[in-house]
Amino acid sequence: MGAHDRPEATAKAKGGLAWLERWLPKMVLAPTFIMMLVFIYGYIIWTAVLSMTNSRFLPSYDFVGLLQFEKLFENDRWLVACTNLGIFGGLFILVCLVLGVTLAILLDQKIRQEGAIRTVYLYPMALSFIVTGTAWKWMLNPGLGLEKVVRDLGFESFSFDWIVDPNMAIYTLVIAAVWQSSGFVMAMFLAGLRGIDNSIIQAAQIDGATLPKIYRRIILPSLRPVFFSAFIILSHIAIKSFDLVAAMTGGGPGYSTDLPATFMYAHSFTRSQIGLGAASAMLMLGGVLAILIPYLYSELRGSRNG
């Protein structure tokens, strides 16, 4: 233990430590980085490759170009699924936004027991779509559900059998999905309303503007960012909707309530059409990107300007 060679050793250890300190953050991120590369980007490429092969029960790597996509667009079931997504998504988003903003505005009028009411509006969001779907399937049961309630009230000829009607079943999905998600939209708008500067509203009131006019001209326009965020989240929920359909209609009657997500599952995992399933998954990703990229673009541009 020579006292004189100690400083050198410490310096060396220090150098090693500094090196470690410099690389440690990157080493900590490395697993995440690798997982991200493999499980997000790698898998997307993998799915893209599968979508261009003739994979059926097992993945094969015989390249067939865009054949699966051509098949997809000649497939009646896929076209029904896309049309359904249009109907379901459109109505779901619209009703959620209208209901959400209306309830938020009403709830913002210094309501007694506001906390309790908010809790009631929001609890469905805590439940899974499977639980939600099970409950609604039961309520919409023709013969025993809401139909019977109304008949028991004396309206003997009342009929409400949408859930087994191929033309109407898709609308029952909208009812359940709105029930599940509209409370969340309400919460978003309520937060937005609470963030508005009161002095602007007071100034407008002094100028003699009526309350409805203040809402139409000042408050609603200033909630535009909330509308956008809610739209993004709701469209995202709509495109990914799988559980609700599985629980409520199973895609039926026939395939009248199929959505792209259930189409993808059915073809990939029960009908042994992996190539076709992969192609439909790629188109779903395309749908999400089509909504997301303009949004992110405007967000980023907005934050740069502001």
Partner 1 sequence: MVNQTAQSSMNWNRINRGLIYAVLLTAALFYLLPLVVMVLTSFKTMDDIRSGNLISWPTEFVFDAWSKAWSTACTGVRCEGVEGYFWNSVQIVVPAVLISTFLGALNGYVFTKWKFRGSELLFGLLLFGCFIPFQVVLLPMAQTLGLLGLANTTAGLVFVHIVYGMAFTTLFFRNFYINIPGELVKAAQLDGAGFFTIFWRILLPISGPIIVVTIIWQTTQIWNDFLFGVVYGSGDTQPITVALNNLVNTSTGVKEYNVHMAAAIIAGLPTLLVYVLAGKYFVRGLTAGSVKG
207-236 binders of partner 1 (CB under 8 A): 229, 232-233, 236
Q: Taking CB under 8 A as the criterion, which residues in 5-24 touch partner 1?
A: 17, 21, 24
Fill in the DSSP letter of residue 41: I
- 26 lies in the binding site for partner 1 (CB under 8 A): yes
Query: For partner 1, which stretch binds (CB under 8 A), given 65-73, 126-134, 160-168, 202-210?
Result: 126-134
- Residues 190-199: contacts with CB within 8 Å, 24+ apart? 190/104, 190/107, 190/108, 190/118, 191/226, 192/104, 192/223, 192/225, 192/226, 193/104, 193/105, 193/108, 193/219, 193/223, 194/108, 196/222, 196/223
- 168 lies in the binding site for partner 1 (CB under 8 A): no
CA 58 – CA 276 distance, rounded (Å): 12
Query: At its nearest, how many Å lie between partner 1 and the CB of residue 200?
Result: 22
CA 276 – CA 73 distance, rounded (Å): 11
Query: For partner 1, which stretch binds (CB under 8 A), given 60-68, 78-86, 178-186, 200-208?
Result: 178-186
List the one residue from 172, 173, 265, 273 that touches partner 1 (CB under 8 A).
265
List the one residue from 78, 92, 121, 215 that touches partner 1 (CB under 8 A).
121
Query: At its nearest, how many Å lie between partner 1 and the CB of residue 173?
Result: 15
Judged by beta carbon, residue 1 or residue 283, the one nearer partner 1 is: 283
Q: Are 263 and 78 in contact (CB under 8 A)?
A: yes
CA 213 – CA 233 distance, rounded (Å): 29
CA 210 – CA 286 distance, rounded (Å): 45
List the one residue from 122, 168, 204, 218 that touches partner 1 (CB under 8 A).
122
Judged by beta carbon, residue 122 or residue 209, the one nearer partner 1 is: 122
Judged by beta carbon, residue 59 or residue 221, the one nearer partner 1 is: 59
CA 271 – CA 181 distance, rounded (Å): 32
Q: Are 161 and 142 in contact (CB under 8 A)?
A: yes
Query: At its nearest, how many Å lie between partner 1 and the CB of residue 43?
Result: 4
Query: For partner 1, which stretch binds (CB under 8 A), given 84-92, 140-148, 158-166, 216-224?
Result: 140-148
Query: At its nearest, how many Å lie between partner 1 and the CB of residue 180?
Result: 10
Q: Are 121 and 103 in contact (CB under 8 A)?
A: yes
Structure tokens at 123: 């609890």
DSSP 84-102: HHHHHHHHHHHHHHHHHHH
List the one residue from 250, 253, 256, 271 that touches partner 1 (CB under 8 A).
250
Residue 169: Cβ-neighbour burial (10 angstroms; 0-12, 13-18, 19+): buried
Each residue 266-305 as x (binds partner 1 by CB under 8 A) or -, in order, gives: --xx----x--xx-xxx-xx-xx---x--x---x------
Judged by beta carbon, residue 3 or residue 206, the one nearer partner 1 is: 206
CA 92 – CA 292 distance, rounded (Å): 18
Query: At its nearest, how many Å lie between partner 1 and the CB of residue 65?
Result: 19
Judged by beta carbon, residue 2 or residue 208, the one nearer partner 1 is: 208
